[in-house]
Structure 1
Amino acid sequence: MSKNIYNEFQIKELEKNPNVLNASERSISYSPKFKIKAVKDYQAGKAPSQIFLEQGFDLDMIGKKQPKTCLRRWRNTYERFGEEGFLTERRGKGSTGRPSTKELSVEEKLKKAEAKIKFLEAENDPLKKARRVREAGVEKETILTASEKFALIEKTIRVHQLHNAVSYLCELAGVSRSGYYDWVKAAPLRAQRDEQDELDVALIRKIFISKREKVGALQIKMIMENDYSACMNHKKIRRLMSKYNLITKIRQANPYRKIAKATQEHRTCPNLLNRDFNQSVPGKVLLTDITYLYYGKGQKAYLSCVKDGATTEILAYNLSTSLEMDIVYRTLTKLKEAVDGQFHQGAILHSDQGMHYTHPRFQSEVKKLGLIQSMSRKGNCWDNAPMESFFGHFKDLAEYKSYDNLQDVKREVDRVIGEYNHDRYQYGLNKMTPVQYRSHLLAA
């Protein structure tokens, strides 16, 4: 057995030589024909290294001492058994000349038994980890990638020194032996990629932290392109975020939503949009709704907003601690101020069938502004999906829950909506912010 340790690339190169039957990490099996020829050439006066070189062997790969060692062993076999010694059973009297197995000492037997125990532990451990046997308290099975399985096999072999168990461990883990050796061979490339990942994740982490850990891969990509003139594939950003555990804070579903009953005087309006929210004209489709904001120690505030369906810009909003009708009246007043009273001809104000929007006075105020009122179908949140989507994003971005007073909550609302309108790039807006996209549409 050679003292050299061959990697997968070297093993493949060795096995291309017709004089090699097979190769492994620590040994090379030469063909009987080559052994016989090598012995005869040696007897004819050729040097061992010359014999190997003429047969296409790279001495730097197999080791410069390897030809001399092999020839010494093969010559002894040839002198004892002749050519038949290479052509018959490799074990017993027709062996290659290697020392026969001697009686093991007690210490050697103990070491062999210990190695066997390690092997038995290894054959169970990768299978258990690779398949992630479901245990109590684990709700779903986690499947390791092929790369993770290869890393597990390599670690098991390295820790327990089980270099002859590669095929068995690969079989247990459900991966190919050649794939494992390809993975081992690619270690320098992985190290190089890890170095590059360290450089690339620096900017991702900077943006992620600056946005209070509330942006995903697409948002980071657009911020990089617009604010840092850097380009990176969103799939790579997502991979690096996963690799470096940059987990975006997401909202939790609110299990309870209070629904107020309308009086008989309340009247609904037909759904004029039919989910055609974006008509590519700023100010033509206006969406409105109210959401709950819980802050402090069980305190509650309500946020009423109006969103432009074409640009997704929040045109007006009002924060209140009461659900009285005044919250929507103030929102309408702020909407009128935002557009200087110049509404788009035929502009539609769309909402759900909440009590505020079916109220006779509210409907009267909407008509005074020259707006046409539209409503979602009953119990169908998809009919006002863009507004629901904004509230979801808002609750991801805003950090109002820890505040104890309404003024702090209001400042946080102002900050988040201002950032949403002016700084939050959106793929659906050609990677522009809502304000930029409004200017773009008006210019077009």
Structure 2
Amino acid sequence: MGAQVPQVRGGRASQAAPFQGNGRDSRGAGAAGPGKRRNFVAHCGGASSQQGRCRELGPESPPRRICGAPRDGVPQQTTQQTNGTSHGKTKEERAADRAGEAQGGKPAPEGGERAAKKIGGLSRGTGAPGAARLAEAIEGLRPEYPLALLLELGKMARSVFYYHRKRLEDRGKDRHAAERRAVASIFFEHEGRYGYRRVTAEMRNRGFTANHKTVQRLMSEMGLKCAIRKVRYRSYRGEAGKAAPNIINRDFSADAPNCKWTTDVTQINVGGAKLYLSPILDMFNGEVVSYNISRSPDLEQVRDMLDKAFAKFASLDGLVMHSDQGWQYRHHEYRRRLKERGVVQSMSRKGNCLDNALAESFFGTMKSELLYARKFESPDEFVKALDKYIDYYNNKRIKSRLNGKSPVQFRSLFEQD
């Protein structure tokens, strides 16, 4: 024998055994009975110690036996032979047994075969079925077969199956049912004045977290559309003509009448028709010096407005006439007429309504107190009411900034002083 075996006395090895075969230490395995000696050499041969593969050598005979080897001629199945089987049965057979036991307590191999055939049929074609499709098939077979069997045949984790089953259940439900009710409630509560942005903001105030795009889609699906704000009239038509400098520069105060005037054009919708109002206001007291109302915002409207204003005063030298950059005020005829009367032209900056805030304020007041306060059946009816309102506005309507006086009263007191 090429190996040296240590002698064991009293349960302890007197000398360490030399290394054998696999590069691991070998130790004595215990003490023998009186008068007997047994030599043990542990040899793992590359396998793990958990598998219990060791070799035992007797005192005289060199033959070696692997622990767990077959005894009395009975063959032992190896790990590779038992992989995928249990007690000599394949996976399919064990699955069939479980299917039969779940249904009647007796194995029914043909039941598992039918389930395997149905699930396996999904893989026919160019590729394997998707997880969602496989989960749908498993859900359809659950009344006939146990879930564990179907998951094993489909090679699907239980968590993956329940995930896709929940998605299948949610497919037929309205995920935004609560949001739909809230959108409709908010829309009708505000009588259709809210668009999707304001509806979204109100929903967030009520605890919802819906995105504005979701709210817009829901409103579209339910046919909810807010009242469209009427398009404002814009007189700007590009760089035609010549622009004047902004002399007023938002200084709307004046020390005396006829020092600073302002003008603008606004659109008025009455009975399906459009009217255009063009007034001149005195910045000293807000008085309407002259005005023209027409069905078309043309140059003739501006001519008439200027004629009425210029006819009231013999001299207007040094007067500053302010306006926006509308095409009427950039027209060479308008500029020429101002120059002939010694009027200095001033213009707001482009696209800045606050530079002409005095005219915009008058339009807002007139529409709130006249146009929106009453219902007019025809444009002619509104024109008559406008004549009366402007007379009322100049002579009777008091203003806090005028010390509780009307524009005409305030001007009269100034002229008396």
The answer to which structure, 1 or 2, has the higher relative contact order (CA under 8 A, 6+ apart) is: 1
Q: Confirm or deny a common fold (TM above 0.5).
A: no
- In the superposition, the TM-score normalised over structure 2's length comes to 0.44
For the pair shown, which has the larger CA radius of gyration, 1 or 2?
A: 2
Answer 1 or 2: which has greater helix percent. 1
